[in-house]
C-alpha cells in the first residue's frame, strides 16, 4: 500500500470501531485506485464489512463515508457506487503531499522489508560470438534490477559469469586454425568479438556440409551428426584444453582476449558495468570437486558409461547429467562451482540469475543440487526468467549468422535518432558536440526503454522504428518531457521567477494538477513493487503515464504566466517534482535524460 492508502485503511478501521464496535485489522482493509470513469482518488471496498454492519452494501458504504468525511479533514467528499466507496481527498491534503515530495531529495527510495545482500548475475556471454539483441535485454534487465534493489535499501553485487570454455569455444578456435590464415583484430580491422563470431559461423557451415556428405554416403543422420569429422576434431580440442595442452591453451587465451576487448566496448556503449566477473574456466574444477564429494555421499551416481548423474524423479523432475562419460564437464558443472564460490567470497543472502526462460529447468535443478549437497542457501538461488526478443522478421540464430549484433543495433539506433532529430528540427541551434551527445542519449534511450517497458516474463518483438517515435510510449517522448521541464526551469531563472520553498496551501488547484500530484504520490510504491518483483517495466510505464499527464497539463495551463505569483510558484514546484521523478525513474532504467533537446 502507498502512504495514502495506508492512511485511508487506518481511518476506515477507526470508522468500523466507532460505528460497529469491532476492531478490524487495517491490513485487511481493501483499498484500490478509483477507476477513471468514477470521481474519486481512492476506492474503499465495502463487502468485507457487511457481516459486521448487518446492512446492505450501499447503506454500509454511506455510513462509513459519512464518518470518514466528518472526522478526517483530509477527506473532502465520497460517493457510494454499489459496494464501493469512492473517496476524494481535500485539495489542501494534496498540496501538503506535494510539499513533502518537494522537500524529500531522495523521493522514490525506500526500505523494502529487511535489507538483503544480493548478487545479481547478468550478461553471461559466450566467448565465441559478439553480444546480440538477446544479450541487450539481459544486460538491461540485470542492470536495472540492480538499481531498483539499491533504491529500496538492499546491498547489491553486480556479477557476470563469462562462459569462456566448452565445445562451442573450441568450434571457433578450430575454425580459426583451419581457415583463419593468421587473421587478428589488428590485421583485419575487425572488432575482436565479431572476428571470433565469424569463425563460429564458418564452423557451423562446414559441420552441416559434412553431415550432408555422410548422409549422402548412406550414414543415418543422427549418427552423421555425431561423427562429422570437424565435430570430432572440436571434441578432441576440448579434451586437450581440459588436459592443459599448452598450444591449445595459448590459442584459447589469445582468442578470448580478442572477445573480452570487444565486449568491453559494447558494455561501455550500453552503459552497464559489473562489480565482479567470474570465468567458467576458473570455476568448473570446483564444480567437479563438489560433484566428487556428492558421489561419495551418495547424492549422485555413476552410470556404466562413467558419466555422473543426479536422480530428481522424487522431486517431479528427471535425471540430470553432471559429467560426461569422458569426464568433461557440462554447463551445470561450473554453475555448481560458481554458486559455491560466490557464497564463500561474499556474505550474500541470495543470487538472482538473469537468464532466458529456456533455462527454467536448469535453475530448478541447480537449486535442488545445492540443497542436496547440504548448502542451506541453495533455496536462495532465484531465476529471473525472461522471454525471448525477436525482430519483426522473426527469430535470430547465432550459428547461422542471422543475429542482430548489439554493436550494429546501437549504431543504427544512434543514427536513426540523429536523422529524426534533424528532420524534426530538434537540434537547431545546438553545437555539433552537444548534438552528438543528445542524439546518442536519445538513440540509446529509445533502445533501452522499448525493451524495459515490456514485462520481463513476456516474449517481445523489437521494432527500431517504433521505439524512437517522439510521440508514443517511448524513451524519446519521456526524455523530451524532462527537457521541456528543464527548459521551463531555465526560463523562470531568466525571468527572475524562482520557486519558493513554501506553498500557499489555500490555492485552489484544478483537476489536472490534482491528478498529477496523486500520480506523483504513487512513485515510491511503484519502485518498491518493481524491486520486489524484479520488473522494471512497472517503473517504465509509470514514468510514461506521468509524462503524458504532465504534457496535457503543460498544454492546457500557463505556468510562468499564471494569474498570481502563488500559482506560478505552485506550478513551478509541481513541474520540478515531476522532473525529478522522471529523472530518477529513468535512472533506475539506466537511461540518460538530456537537459536540452
What's 73's domain CATH number? 3.30.1360.70
**CA 456, CA 479: separation in Å to the nearest integer?**
22
Average pLDDT over residues 258-264: 97
**Same-domain check for residues 430 and 551:** yes
Instruction: Give me the helix-helix angle, 91-103 and 565-588, nearest 10°.
Output: 60
In Å, how far are 171, 181, 193 from 187, measured between CA atoms? 22, 11, 14
Q: What is the mean pLDDT of residues 564-593?
A: 96
- pLDDT of 504-535, one tens digit each? 878 889 989 999 999 999 999 999 999 999 99
pLDDT band for position 500 (50/70/90)? low
What values do phi and psi take at 250, rounded to 5?
-65, -45
Domain assignment present for residue 501? The answer is yes
Domain termination site, one of 364, 390, 416: 390
Check if the beta carbon of residue 103 is closer than 8 Å to that of residue 500: no
Q: Are residues 507 and 572 in the same domain?
A: yes
Phi, psi of 157 (to 5 degrees): -115, 120
Whether 266 and 375 share a structural domain: yes
Q: Same structural domain for residues 132 and 266?
A: yes
pLDDT tier, 498 (very low <50, low <70, confident <90, very high otherwise): low
Q: Within this chain, do residues 334 and 453 fall inside the same structural domain, yes or no?
A: no
105 is a domain residue: no
Rg over alpha carbons for the chain, rounded to the nearest Å, is 29
Query: Is residue 499 very low, low, confident or very high in pLDDT (cuts 50, 70, 90)?
Result: low
Residue 439 lies in a domain: yes
Mean pLDDT of 488-507: 78
343 falls within a domain: yes
Quickly state the pLDDT bin for 402 (edges 50, 70, 90).
Answer: low
19-23, 428-432, 539-543: which range is least confident on average? 428-432
| Dihedral sign of CA atoms 213, 215, 221, 227 in order | negative
Q: How many domains does the chain have?
A: 3
Structural domain contains residue 454? yes
Structure confidence at residue 395 (pLDDT): 52
| pLDDT (0 to 100) of residue 401 | 46
Any domain includes 379: yes
Instruction: Examine the domain organization and report whether 252 and 335 are in the same domain.
Output: yes
Report yes or no: 65 and 85 within 8 Å, Cβ to Cβ.
yes
Shared-domain flag, residues 304 and 429: no
**Residue that is last in its domain, among 360, 390, 420:** 390
Q: Is 286 helix (H, G, I), strand (E, B) or coil?
A: helix
Look at residues 390, 416, 432 and tell me which one is the last residue of a structural domain. 390
113 located within any domain: no
Residue 84 is part of which domain span? 3-89
Residue 112 has pLDDT above 80, yes or no: no
Task: Work out the number of other CB atoms within 10 angstroms of the CB of residue 275.
Answer: 13
Is residue 485 within 8 A of residue 546, CB to CB? The reply is no
Residue 282 to residues 72, 161, 240, 331, Cα–Cα distance (Å): 64, 10, 16, 13
Q: How confident is the model at residue 394 (pLDDT cuts 50, 70, 90)?
A: low
Q: Is residue 398 part of a domain?
A: no
CATH code of 187's domain: 3.40.50.620
What is the average per-residue pLDDT within 462-473?
84
- Burial tier of 14 (Cβ tally within 10 Å: 0-12, 13-18, 19+): middle
Task: Please indicate, yes or no, whether residues 34 and 149 belong to a single structural domain of this protein.
Answer: no
What's the CATH code of the domain at 515?
1.10.730.10
In whole angstroms, what is the distance from residue 411 CA to residue 65 CA? 58
- The pLDDT assigned to 209 comes to 97
- Containing 436, the helix (H) or strand (E) segment is helix 432-452
Q: Which helix (H) or strand (E) holds 360?
A: helix 360-372
Residues 268 and 194 reside in one and the same domain: yes
Set of cell numbers at residue 273: 558495468
On whether both 380 and 430 belong to a single domain, the answer is no
pTM of the model: 0.91
Instruction: Examine the domain organization and report whether 289 and 353 are in the same domain.
Output: yes
Whether residue 513 sits in one domain with residue 473: yes
Helix 246-270 and helix 229-242: axis angle, to 10°? 90
pLDDT at 399 over 60: no
Measured distance CA(314)–CA(311) in Å, rounded: 8
pLDDT-derived band at 396 (thresholds 50, 70, 90) equals very low
Total count of residues recorded for the chain: 597
Q: To 10 degrees, the CA torsion angle through 63, 68, 71, 73?
A: -150
> What pLDDT does residue 400 have?
47
Amino acid at each position: 500500500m502507498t502512504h495514502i492508502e495506508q492512511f485511508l485503511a487506518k481511518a476506515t478501521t477507526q470508522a468500523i470501531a466507532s460505528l460497529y464496535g469491532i476492531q478490524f485489522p487495517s491490513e485487511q482493509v481493501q483499498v484500490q485506485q478509483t477507476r477513471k470513469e468514477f470521481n474519486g482518488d481512492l476506492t474503499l471496498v465495502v463487502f468485507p464489512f457487511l457481516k459486521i454492519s448487518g446492512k446492505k452494501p450501499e447503506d454500509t458504504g454511506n455510513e462509513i463515508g459519512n464518518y470518514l468525511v466528518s472526522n478526517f479533514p483530509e477527506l473532502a467528499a465520497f460517493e457510494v457506487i454499489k459496494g464501493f466507496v469512492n473517496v476524494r481527498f481535500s485539495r489542501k491534503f494534496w498540496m501538503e503531499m506535494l510539499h513533502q515530495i518537494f522537500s524529500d531529495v531522495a523521493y522514490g527510495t525506500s526500505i523494502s522489508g529487511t535489507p538483503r545482500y544480493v548478487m545479481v548475475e547478468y550478461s553471461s556471454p559466450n566467448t565465441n560470438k559478439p553480444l546480440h539483441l538477446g544479450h541487450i535485454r539481459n544486460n538491461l534487465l540485470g542492470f536495472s534490477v540492480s538499481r531498483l534493489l539499491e533504491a529500496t535499501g538492499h546491498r547489491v553485487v553486480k556479477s557476470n559469469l563469462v562462459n569462456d570454455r566448452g565445445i562451442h569455444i573450441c568450434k571457433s578456435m578450430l575454425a580459426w586454425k583451419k581457415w583463419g590464415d593468421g587473421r587478428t583484430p589488428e590485421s583485419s580491422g575487425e572488432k575482436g568479438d565479431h572476428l571470433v563470431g565469424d569463425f563460429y559461423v564458418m564452423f557451423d557451415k562446414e559441420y552441416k556440409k559434412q553431415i550432408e556428405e555422410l548422409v549422402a554416403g548412406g550414414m543415418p543422420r543422427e549418427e552423421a551428426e555425431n561423427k562429422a569429422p570437424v565435430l570430432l576434431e572440436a571434441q578432441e580440442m576440448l579434451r586437450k584444453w581440459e588436459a592443459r595442452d599448452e598450444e591449445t591453451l595459448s590459442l584459447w587465451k589469445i582468442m578470448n582476449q580478442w572477445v573480452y576487448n570487444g565486449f568491453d566496448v559494447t558494455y561501455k556503449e550500453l552503459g552497464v558495468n559489473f562489480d565482479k566477473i567470474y570465468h567458467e574456466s576458473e570455476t568448473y574444477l570446483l564444480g567437479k570437486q563438489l560433484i566428487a564429494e556428492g558421489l561419495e555421499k551418495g547424492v549422485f551416481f555413476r552410470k556404466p558409461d562413467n558419466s555422473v548423474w543426479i536422480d530428481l524423479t522424487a522431486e517431479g523432475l528427471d535425471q540430470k547429467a553432471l559429467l560426461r562419460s569422458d569426464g568433461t564437464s557440462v554447463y551445470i558443472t561450473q554453475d555448481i562451482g560458481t554458486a559455491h564460490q560466490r557464497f564463500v567470497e561474499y556474505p550474500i543472502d541470495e543470487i538472482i540469475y538473469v537468464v532466458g526462460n529456456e533455462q527454467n529447468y536448469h535453475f530448478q535443478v541447480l537449486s535442488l543440487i545445492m540443497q542436496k549437497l547440504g548448502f542451506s542457501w541453495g533455496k536462495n538461488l532465484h531465476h529471473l526468467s525472461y522471454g525471448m526478443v525477436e525482430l519483426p522478421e522473426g527469430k535470430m540464430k547465432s550459428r547461422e549468422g542471422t543475429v542482430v549484433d548489439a554493436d550494429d543495433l546501437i549504431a543504427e539506433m544512434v543514427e536513426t535518432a540523429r536523422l529524426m532529430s534533424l528532420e524534426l528540427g530538434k537540434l537547431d541551434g545546438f553545437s555539433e558536440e552537444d548534438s552528438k551527445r543528445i542524439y546518442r542519449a536519445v538513440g540509446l534511450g529509445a533502445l533501452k526503454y522499448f525493451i524495459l517497458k515490456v514485462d520481463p516474463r513476456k516474449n517481445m518483438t523489437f521494432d527500431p522504428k517504433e521505439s524512437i517515435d517522439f510521440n508514443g510510449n517511448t524513451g524519446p517522448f519521456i526524455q523530451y518531457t524532462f527537457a521541456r521541464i528543464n527548459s521551463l526551469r531555465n526560463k523562470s531563472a531568466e525571468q527572475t521567477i524562482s520557486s519558493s520553498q513554501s506553498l500557499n496551501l489555500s490555492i485552489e488547484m484544478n483537476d489536472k494538477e490534482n491528478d498529477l500530484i496523486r500520480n506523483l504520490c504513487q512513485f515510491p510504491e511503484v519502485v518498491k513493487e518493481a524491486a520486489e518483483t524484479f520488473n522494471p517495466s512497472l517503473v517504465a510505464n509509470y514514468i510514461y503515464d506521468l509524462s503524458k499527464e504532465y504534457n496535457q497539463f503543460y498544454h492546457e495551463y500557463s505556468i510562468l504566466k499564471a494569474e498570481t505569483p502563488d500559482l506560478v510558484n505552485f506550478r513551478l514546484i509541481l513541474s520540478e517534482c515531476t522532473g525529478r521523478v522522471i529523472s530518477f525513474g529513468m535512472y533506475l532504467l539506466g537511461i540518460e535524460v538530456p537537459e536540452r533537446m
